[in-house]
Amino acid sequence: MPLVVANGTKISYAERGTGEPVVLVMGTGSPGSVWQLHQVPALVAAGYRVVTFDNRGVAPLPPGAAKPTVEDLVGDVVALVERLCGGRARLVGTSMGAHVVQEVMVARPDLVQQAVLMATRGRTDTFRGALATAEAAIALGEAKLPPQAYAVWRLIQSLSPHTLNDEKQARSWLDLMEFFPPSLEVAEAQTELERMADRLDAYRAVTPPPDGALVIGFADDLVTPPHLGREVAEAIPSARFTEVARCGHFGYLERPDAVNALLVEFFGDRVPSTRSTQ
């Protein structure tokens, strides 16, 4: 992956396709290459130039380096859009990445043509606060979970019961985690970002993107349940909300065809359904 020096750091990125730019912002603990599985091919086929990148903390942090803040990640996205896109871009984020995109909309609305916010929230409620505390204890504590136990913990959080109760799919996900186990080092670098203050008032005051914002909730998401995403859609002026059924926090990987159809439809200025995608 090529590197660009921006916002005081080196950012590894990849781009594919031609046309208007779309920047994809990944969530906690995962590299930007995860987008390559499903979303990048669909968007390239639809005629877009797609940029993916690794958030700070995905690559090992230098010894003594401070853990990244949301402001750091927002600055990185702003710098990438300015350096690689030369102006406005469509931004897509999931989970922590959606939080980052929301904050880019607050800080630099002039750079956002359209925004898609998946598996997002605008505040930390009681259970999500407890979950973030538990994640921090696992990532930052001296006693570490065995890799297999950590992988199962992540899958319970991130997948729908429809997936976990399907023998073939469950086996495939467990095999995937065995070959590509989630990184405790990355989680340690980014775990503090799971806690967020109530930002809904800030989102009510944003200048909406010229071509709108779409919030996508995943029906069985335990980490960022749809009702918290709907709050974000209700706060951002003229934003829309839609929900995808039978998937959890990894909905863009569990039901990629449904998610990709929503992305392409929204970017093509055709209003997506506000009903659940079955």
Positions marked active-site: 95, 221, 249
Q: Do the Cβ atoms of 232 and 217 come closer than 8 Å?
A: no
Collapsing DSSP to helix, strand or coil, 108 comes out as coil
Say which residues have a Cβ less than 8 Å from residue 104's Cβ, sequence separation at least 6: 74, 77, 78, 91, 111, 112
Contact 52, 118 (CB under 8 A): no
Q: Where are the alpha helices (DSSP H) in the chain?
A: 39-45, 70-80, 96-107, 126-140, 147-158, 161-164, 167-179, 184-190, 200-204, 226-235, 251-254, 256-267
Q: Cβ(14)–Cβ(52) under 8 Å?
A: yes
CB atoms near residue 245 (< 10 Å)? 16
Q: Tell me how far apart the alpha carbons of residues 39 and 257 are, in angstroms, rounded to a whole number.
A: 9
CA atoms within 13 A on the CB side of 27: 19
Tokens of 69: 């803040």
Q: Which amino acid is at 3?
A: L
